[in-house]
Amino acid sequence: MEVTPKTPADIKGGTLTRCGDKLRLLELAQVPEKYIDDFTSVRKFKYFNTNNLWINLSTMARLLEEDRISMELIVNPKTLKPTPVIQLEEAAGAAIHNFDNPRGLTVPRHRFLPVKFTSDLMLVMSNLYVLEKGRIVPSPKRNFPTLPLVKLGKHFGHIKNFKERLRTIPDMLELDHLTVSGDVHFGKDVKLKGTVIIIARENEQIDIPPGAVLENKIITGNLRVLPH
């Protein structure tokens, strides 16, 4: 199993643990409430599962023939607004405990590029990455080894709204942290640096004008840029 160093953006990712003489994959939904802080700590659990798996197919075939593949069922309570539901899951990586001599292989960050939320999509679409021989790789122009932490509010939750609110993806090469909450729109060719927090309160709207450079800024209130 390929694992990579955990950052604050990855605190929900599964991690490898040793139980007796077996390696097991531990997911957040399996952790008792009182140990959540330990699980999400980047110091206590320094690596997390990338979901890249290397499997000896001959061994896999033999285990299947012998009916020796057992998977742990994960019970994950969720809310499908407004109804509470229980989601039953099986993680592919959890099969690791069925194999003899399994290994966790630490790989560079660029081997792991998930897109689960629009905040992930914003990173991948930005100039933090470039296309090289058909692969998306980190841009050599960024001077920091880690990615910025991006948190987008519910107004950016669906891809349609995401595209409507971002005329173009901002320049993020020098960004450390971005939080956006509320009714916010970005104009073209915006540049973000350092820590940027933009919060539009209820019934207010913030328009970031085209070409704006925001460096270590907190923006709240109501800001509109109207055509003339």
Question: Is 34 annotated as catalytic?
Answer: no
Sign of the C-alpha dihedral computed for residues 38, 39, 45 and 46 taken in this order: negative
Separation of alpha carbons 140 and 122, rounded Å: 18
DSSP code of residue 128: T
Query: At a CB cut-off of 8 Å and minimum separation 6, what does 46 contact?
Result: 5, 6
From residue 122, give the alpha-carbon distance in Å to each of 26, 106, 127, 129, 221.
28, 26, 10, 11, 24
Strands (E) located in the chain: 2-5, 15-19, 22-26, 47-49, 74-80, 83-89, 105-106, 129-132, 135-138, 149-152, 171-181, 183-186, 191-199, 205-208, 213-220
Query: At a CB cut-off of 8 Å and minimum separation 6, what does 124 contact?
Result: 113, 115, 136
Residues, the chain: 228
Name the phi and psi angles at 62, rounded to 5. Answer: -65, -45
Catalytic one among 34, 81, 116, 160? 116
Residues serving a catalytic function are 116
